[in-house]
Amino acid sequence: MYYNNMAMDTGGNVFKDSKSFFLTLDNPVKTDTKILMSPSGYWLPSFKLAASWATGLHITVLRGHLESLLVLLEHNASINSRPNGKTPLHVACDLGNLDCVKILIAHGAKLNSFSVSGHTPLHYCKTKRSVRCAKELIWSGADVNLQSKNDTEETPLHTVARAGIPELVDFYVNHGAMVDSINSTWETPLATAVYWALNIKDQVYSTKHHLICRMLLDYNASGNWRDIDRKSPLHKAAWNCDHIVMQMLLEDGAQATLMDANGCAPQQYVLKVTSVRAAGQPDICFQLLLNHGAARIYPPQFHKVLQECHSYPRAIEVMINAYEHIKATYRWDKAIPEDDLERYRTFYDSLFEVCSNSPRSLLHLARCAIRAVLRKKCHRFIPHLPLPATLKNYLLLEPQGRFY
């Protein structure tokens, strides 16, 4: 019987591949196929693996030749061999080949074996096409909470949270995955999903990662857990300027005043990235934080807000209106580039007018008095006040385009 890439001889033990050389059942052959490579020398900065080794099982899994795979297994080929750092089951999961996964499991493949890079087969199920493979592994008894044996120490739940696969997040949690499991930097799956919700290169937010965040919060994941740098998920959402996730976290009880190891609150994170988050809406981020009790920027340092947000008048308006009164300093003029000053002339004229020696309007002072009473409960109680919608929005610091 002959197959595309290998053939059995009459003795049943010898195969010949397309390069015309013979190998015994478990003899590894050299290959340059990337999917089979798991280099043991990856710690070298300039190391690039040109070739790896594979047994007949690895090659049949790679090619998806089920009949060849069954023949090899019937002749007792070593099912857990990993001359290239991966077992055939690792390769099958990486490829998302459900049929191969089922055959290997049925013939006794180790479900929790580690590749040389420290990953189990479940860790390799990180694409949409491998969802059914992951389910098959779990149904067959794979450990859903096993951490990788490398410097990340991630669980499979971390892996799918980062990859953005809501279906597997739901499946793992419903089959015993620990929602608040931590990796080597004390990061939970929720924090991982929050961080990876923004594609930095394309500046696009992922709705799949947003869904995962919602799911994990519904499964009672902690919104205030802090990693090794004392960053909460809210810090990471603020770094992404992701108001959708920030709102989820804050409404679930995340604290807007938590500080990281450097003494920075989420508000400072939004401030730092405002100018480099093209898809972000910093005004909404600041509004959410202030309505949930975030501290205002120390007035003598407000020029730093103008330095970062001079092209975002709505964000400046939200921040200014959180004070009863704040007086402009000589640093304010220097913080605003001439072109932005001219582009938003009406806005900046009104800004310097209300930040002079004159007090703000009675309407604004009434807003501040109400907010001072409600403090971090503004978001909860203001929407239920018997007031017109425009006044409710005013109390919640909704920007209007200029100061009055």
Q: What is the pLDDT of residues 67-108, one digit of tens each?
A: 999 999 999 899 999 888 899 999 999 999 999 999 999 999
Q: What is the pLDDT of residues 172-203, one digit of tens each?
A: 999 999 999 999 999 999 999 999 999 999 99
Exposure of 270 in the CB half-sphere (CA atoms within 13 A): 31
C-alpha to C-alpha distances, 30 to 33, 36, 46, 62, nearest whole angstrom: 9, 10, 22, 14
Q: Which H helix or E strand runs over 31? A: strand 29-31
Q: What is the pLDDT of residues 266-307, one digit of tens each?
A: 999 999 999 999 899 999 999 999 999 999 999 999 999 999
Domains of the chain, residue spans:
1-125, 296-404
Residue 69 tokens read as 């795979």
Residue 146: which residues within 8 A CB-CB, separation 6 or more?
A: 112, 120, 122, 155, 156
Neighbours of 153 (CB within 10 A): 17
Topology of 1-125 in CATH? 1.25.40
DSSP 8-class letter at 226 = -
Q: Rounded to an integer, what distance in angstroms lies between the CA atom of residue 379 and that of residue 251?
A: 9
Which residue do the tokens 């001439």 mark?
338
Question: pTM for the complete prediction?
Answer: 0.85
Backbone dihedral angles phi then psi of residue 113, each to the nearest 5 degrees: -70, 150
Compute the C-alpha angle 285/289/294, nearest 5°. Answer: 145
Query: Quick one: 363 exposed, middle or buried, by C-beta within 10 A (0-12, 13-18, 19+)?
Result: exposed
- The two beta strands, 198-199 and 52-54, are unpaired
